Amino acid sequence: MADIIQLLPDSVANQIAAGEVIQRPASVVKELVENAIDAGASQIKINIKDAGRTLIQIIDNGCGMSDTDARMAFERHATSKIRSADDIFAIRTMGFRGEALASIAAIAEVELRTKEHDQDLGTFIHISGSSIITQEPVRCDNGTNFQIKNLFFNVPARRKFLKSNPAELKHIINEIQRIALANPEIAISLHHNGSAIYELSGSNKRVRIVSLFGKNINQNLIPIDTETSLAKLTGFIGQPKHARKTFGEQFFFVNKRFMKHPFFHKAIMQAYEKILPPDAIPSYFIYFDLNPADIDVNIHPTKTEIKFENESAIWQILQASVREALGKFNIVPSIDFDQAGSVDIPMPLHDFSDVSMPEIKVNPNYNPFDQPAFSKGNSGSPGSFSSKPLERSNTGNWQSLYKGLGPDLSVRQETPVDEPVQFRIEEQQTIKSSVQFKNKYILTPVKSGLMVIDQKRAHERILYERLMQVLENHEVASQQQLFPETFELNASDATLLTSILPDLRALGFDIRDFGKNSFIINGTPGVLNTTSPIEIIESLLEEYKNSPVNLQEKARETVAISLAQASAIPYGHTLKPGEINELIDNLFACQTPNFSPKGKKILSIMPLEDFEKLLK
Ligand code: ADP
Ligand code: MG
């Protein structure tokens, strides 16, 4: 038989390899901006069209390239940054694999204008799908100007895989945020379709953080500054009272490179233990500087995961620094410290390698939207739309809903999610004997034992079903604000809010975009009866950002879910007896009282036998 193995042409090999480095427009932006930083630029301008689909332009005032280098730069494994494998252990530059430009040139059209500072003329190169179309001398500014057009024009599968423009733009903004925080001394501007998102002048870390996240963050920043023989740590942590419910302002940098590090995140969370509101995550901007030989940045193609030689020791230094900073600001009672004032390098006492971030367990088969559609007039659907969130609806109806249902099918048995658990609350009086426990649960005696209800999830379910009814019946009822409030968001949140504004309007929000990332709230959904609309919008955005991506495709429902979560009574909130009863009534008037809109269990029954066993 004839031989059948052939070497792939470079253009095909590059296209395949490109998949690893370039997943979306934001990856191109990241690689090109990092190259500009490596070229010593003090100013970088980024222009984007259509979230990067049509154009990504990066202009820098760095060292530029010679004619030959400009051509060479597009070859795979072509780099000016390392010469031998040993150099990898002394890396101070962002790039070193020599892969980015070859990958980008394989899947887009590239126009490059570049000039070294001591030359009169620069060079222009036009490449499409890995082939050089032209190279000629050109008059241009010092530095480098890349234009990437028609990204993925020859990889339709990738093009299809791209998300909506706001979603892709958000990825770009996130990359720019990270790079801008890592390099506060570099002036960076970002324009999208001609309008400015960022115009950051070169400054220090604090000013940079404030210009990215808004002036309110300024008084919230507590400085960190620790130097040990292993590493230097600088930056800021946020005050506990400003901690938000979800991720967004948590950043680690190592030698000016953004990194993700769940294990170090845990060190910070532990330092804040007991001083944070429940479920909140503090802001932090922490910069590690250490000998490049003590880290390995080569374990991940996009280089966001970094391995540390002395991971456990650095973990302890980090935690001690955070505790010390909190202590200095009198945030933690000093009695909590045994070593306040100084940070030694503690030797690792335990092996922390098995500590990992808690995983969020989600039932992959559960789809909250698979429930039968709510129909009007169904006695099980929440009836009233009064402005009080816990107003009694279907008063007295709840018992009949459960009449005749088997009493002992307790929730503890593995119950298929789409079959609501059936149970019966014994007597109306027993409901009256419901109590709140730890300001988090409601305990209610039922025939087969003791029912435990999660108060927040229960309220989320109630609000969610009410909001869905508003959407389905187009019964928008907006409660006008007496004093319309204005608020400003950071660029990425502003983009997100703009993209979900139509859905928020359908739910009863009256919000206008004022331009420059500011908004005004004139009205809120009648269903919510909220007094702090801005807070709700902020937590709504957080919840929305953290919804699984496949859920975000059902944007309306996701907005309703996020809004329900953002407005539900928080844990820690004491309920009056009347409110407890209303909550229970309203919960059992819902279509799906057993599960929260995101599919978490709302209630469970501890069977009588278990009590008996306990006391044996
Ligand atoms: P790497 O950054 O890993 O070296 P790249 O493919 O990103 O690989 O870039 C290849 C080479 O092209 C770089 O090593 C550098 O010499 C040159 N280069 C790329 N972008 C620029 C730029 N903006 N200014 C100057 N030189 C650049
Ligand atoms: Mg590079």
Instruction: List pLDDT tens digits, range 514-536.
Output: 888 889 998 888 888 777 888 88
Q: Which of 1-5, 18-22, 347-351, 471-475 has the lowest average pLDDT? A: 347-351
- Range list for CATH 3.30.230.10 in the chain: 205-299+310-326
Distance (angstroms) between ligand 2 centre and the Cα of 96 equals 6
Residue 178 to residue 33: CA distance in whole angstroms: 11
Residue identifier of the C-alpha nearest atom 7 of ligand 1:
100
Residue identifier of the C-alpha nearest atom 13 of ligand 1:
79
Distance (angstroms) between ligand 1 centre and the Cα of 35 equals 5
Residue 52 to residue 64: CA distance in whole angstroms: 23
Topology annotation, domain 205-299+310-326: Ribosomal Protein S5; domain 2 (3.30.230)
Tokens representing residue 494 in the block? 């502003």
Q: What is the pLDDT at residue 30?
A: 96
Average pLDDT, the chain: 80
Distance (angstroms) between ligand 1 centre and the Cα of 185 equals 21
Q: Give the pLDDT mean for 83-90.
A: 75
Q: How far lies 460's CA from each of 522, 577, 594, in Å?
A: 24, 19, 12
pLDDT band at 147 (very low <50, low <70, confident <90, very high): very high
244 pairs with which residues across the strands?
281
Q: Does domain 10-200 have CATH number 3.40.50.970?
A: no
Q: What is the pLDDT at residue 26?
A: 96
Nearest atom (ligand 1) to Cα of 36 = 23
Residue identifier of the C-alpha nearest atom 20 of ligand 1:
35
Q: How far lies 37's CA from each of 183, 185, 269, 290, 576, in Å?
A: 9, 11, 32, 19, 58
Q: Is 39 in the pocket of ligand 1 (CB under 6 A)?
A: yes
Ligand nearest, relative to CA of residue 78: 1
Nearest atom (ligand 1) to Cα of 103 = 6
Q: Superfamily for 452-605?
A: MutL, C-terminal domain, regulatory subdomain (3.30.1370.100)
What DSSP assignment string belongs to 3-53?
----PPPHHHHHHHHHHHH-SSHHHHHHHHHHHHHHTT-SEEEEEEEGGGT
Q: What is the pLDDT at residue 176?
A: 96
- Range list for CATH 3.30.1370.100 in the chain: 452-605
Distance (angstroms) between ligand 1 centre and the Cα of 355 equals 38
Ligand nearest, relative to CA of residue 98: 1
H-assigned helices in 139-221? 156-161, 165-182, 205-213
Q: Is 27 in the pocket of ligand 1 (CB under 6 A)?
A: no
590 pairs with which residues across the strands?
none
Nearest atom (ligand 1) to Cα of 100 = 6
Ligand nearest, relative to CA of residue 58: 1
* 109-128 per-position pLDDT tens digit: 999 999 999 999 999 999 99
- Range list for CATH 3.30.565.10 in the chain: 10-200
Distance (angstroms) between ligand 2 centre and the Cα of 37 equals 9
CB 587 within 8 A of CB 575: no
Q: What is the pLDDT at residue 225?
A: 94
Q: Is 248 in the pocket of ligand 1 (CB under 6 A)?
A: no
Tokens representing residue 322 in the block? 């955070």
Q: Is 22 in the pocket of ligand 1 (CB under 6 A)?
A: no
| Selection from 297-301, 372-376, 396-400, 451-455 with the highest mean pLDDT | 451-455
Residue 396 to residue 581: CA distance in whole angstroms: 11
Distance (angstroms) between ligand 2 centre and the Cα of 59 equals 15
Distance (angstroms) between ligand 1 centre and the Cα of 73 equals 6
